[in-house]
Each structure stands twice: as structure tokens, then as C-alpha cells.
Amino acid sequence: MGSSTIDKKKRKKRAAIPSAHVNSPVKIKLTDEMELSYIKYVRSQNIDPIENDPSPTFVSIAGFECSYDSFRLSLQPRGFVSNDLMAVFVQYFNDDHKLNTENIYDRNKVAFTPFLVEKLMLDPKTYIPESNEPELTRINEQMDIANADLLLFPLILNEHWILICINYLVKKVHFFDPAIRASNSESVLPANSIKFATNNVVINFQRTCKVAEIFDRDLQNYELQVPRCPKHSNSPFQKFDSGIFAMLLMYNWNGSVIKIFDHTEATKFRKLIAYKLMNSDLNEAAIKNNQTEDQP
């Protein structure tokens, strides 16, 4: 039996696992150290500017960098997540998920940076697959794209974060919009915008994977769905939570159901991910500058 056949059997087994056990609320626990660290580095400004560099790099993972200002502004209460912050989060997420997928109930997930997703959003008529082949090849060497269950594509669309998911388990493409809906629709975006975004990403991703010799699947036959998902409020205090909700969706979507979360957990997640990114062994900026050696 070949390795590809074994992988397909494993994927079918994961798809068939009952999901009732995951349909429960998200409960994030924070330590005193996490709370104090958030106050020190996010609510307050505790990194001195460097000469000719008023906002030095604070998080650097796998070649992606996030400045201190971008880090603070993204993770402060009512902060809108920047592309830079999402990019370093994606690197952390992939590594963290790779290390925590030993349980048969887990899904194999691979996330992509918003910078790559923006390129995949180009009109397929003008998109050049070879332009992103090196990036996909690099990711595939680390994460094995062909054998993933869920491929995750976070993107800012119409000034808020959405999440596109290619689901190998059920052969569907999911479009998650955490903005609160004004009607019975699951997205504040018009249907043509949803179709445009998903079609471009899927077509261009498929073409690039073929060029990179990762796989040659027909993803265009996957059914498009806009599932229900936790929504952030459009109040002045909470309307900027779309990026945080997108991150939580990446962790808590298993391909069939989503663990429920709300603004209370989103607020905790800002503190949790701030601490995790700062103190990650992957953070080359922390290693270089010893910026977290005096954590409280």
C-alpha cells in the first residue's frame, strides 16, 4: 500500500470522527505573568526607539517581521490586526499546530500569510503561478500541503478580516465572515464578492501547487459554503475584533464544527497571543535583543 493511499485512509478516518466533543465553548486561561506582560508591553510602551528606527522589529519569525508599533496597535483593546501581525501569527500557528497534532481527533492544518493570499486574489487571467512557486515550495517542505486536511487563508476584504478554508475532508471551500450580519446572510459581503474572492484564491492556489509539483487536484469542483461562525459586534468597542476572531477560527474550526467563542474570549486571546509571540523560541527578534528577559 502506497503512502498516498495510507494518507487518504487516515484523512477519511479523521473526517468520520464524531465531532460532538469539540462543539463546546472556548475557555482561555491566562496566568498572572501573561496579564502583567500584556500591561507592560501592549497597554504601555516599554521598548525604547532605536536611532533611525523609531519602531524596531519586535517579533520576527521565519523571515516575517512585525514592528513594536504594529504589534501594540494590533493587540491593544479595539486594535485592528495588521497584515504584519497576522503573518507572524501564521508562522507561529503552523509550528504550534505541527507540534500538537498527535491526537487522532486533530486535523492537519496549514495556514498562509495574508501577503500570499493577496497575491492569490489576483485575476487568474493575469496571475503568474511561477511568482509564488518558491513560497509554496518552502511551506510544503515544512508543512506537507498535499496531506493537510484544512488549508487556511486569512485576508482583509472590505476593511475587515475574513477566512477562506479549503477543506479536503469534505471537498468544500468555506468562507468565514466574523462580521455581524445585517440580514439572514452569514456574511456582510455581497454574494458576488464572496464568489470572486474564493474563486480567485482557489484557482490560483491550484495552479501554483501544480507548478510547484505539490499536487494536481481539481479544487474548482469543491462546493462553496458560507457557514455560521462566531460574530463580532459592530459597536465602536468591538468592531475591530475581526482579525482576532479569524485567528480563533483557525484554532477552533475542525472542518465540521466550530468551538463557540465571544468577545470575552477574544479579549483574553489578545493577551494570550501577545505573550506567546513575544516569548516564542521562534521569535528571532527576542533572541537577538533579549527583549523578554526581564518579563515579570
Segment among 78-82, 173-177, 179-183, 204-208 with least mean pLDDT: 179-183
* Cβ atoms within 10 Å of 86's Cβ, excluding its own: 25
Helix (H) or strand (E) holding 66: strand 64-67
Helix (H) or strand (E) holding 38: helix 32-38
pLDDT of 120 reads 97
Helix (H) or strand (E) holding 268: helix 263-279
Q: How far apart are CA 271 and CA 228, in angstroms?
A: 26
Q: Residue 295 pLDDT > 50, yes or no? A: no
Q: Which three cell numbers stand for residue 161?
A: 478580516
pLDDT of 249 reads 96
Domain ranges of the chain: 96-288
In tens, the pLDDT along 119-134 reads 999 999 999 999 999 9
Q: Checking DSSP bridges between strand 57-61 and strand 172-176, what pairing results, if any? A: unpaired
pLDDT of 71 reads 97
Q: Which three cell numbers stand for residue 159?
A: 476593511
Average pLDDT over residues 275-291: 83
- The pTM score is 0.88
Q: Is the dihedral of CA 40, 275, 231, 260 positive or negative?
A: negative
In tens, the pLDDT along 146-160 reads 999 999 999 999 889
Of 271, 289, 291, nearest in space to 75 by CA: 271
Q: Is 284 helix (H, G, I), strand (E, B) or coil?
A: helix
Q: How far apart are CA 32 and CA 36, in angstroms?
A: 6
Q: Residue 1 pLDDT > 70, yes or no? A: no
Query: Chain-wide mean pLDDT for the chain?
Result: 86
Within its chain, how far is the Cα of 155 from the centroid?
9
Contact 118, 136 (CB under 8 A): no
pLDDT of 50 reads 63
Q: Which fold has domain 96-288?
A: Adenoviral Proteinase; Chain (3.40.395)
Average pLDDT over residues 226-246: 84
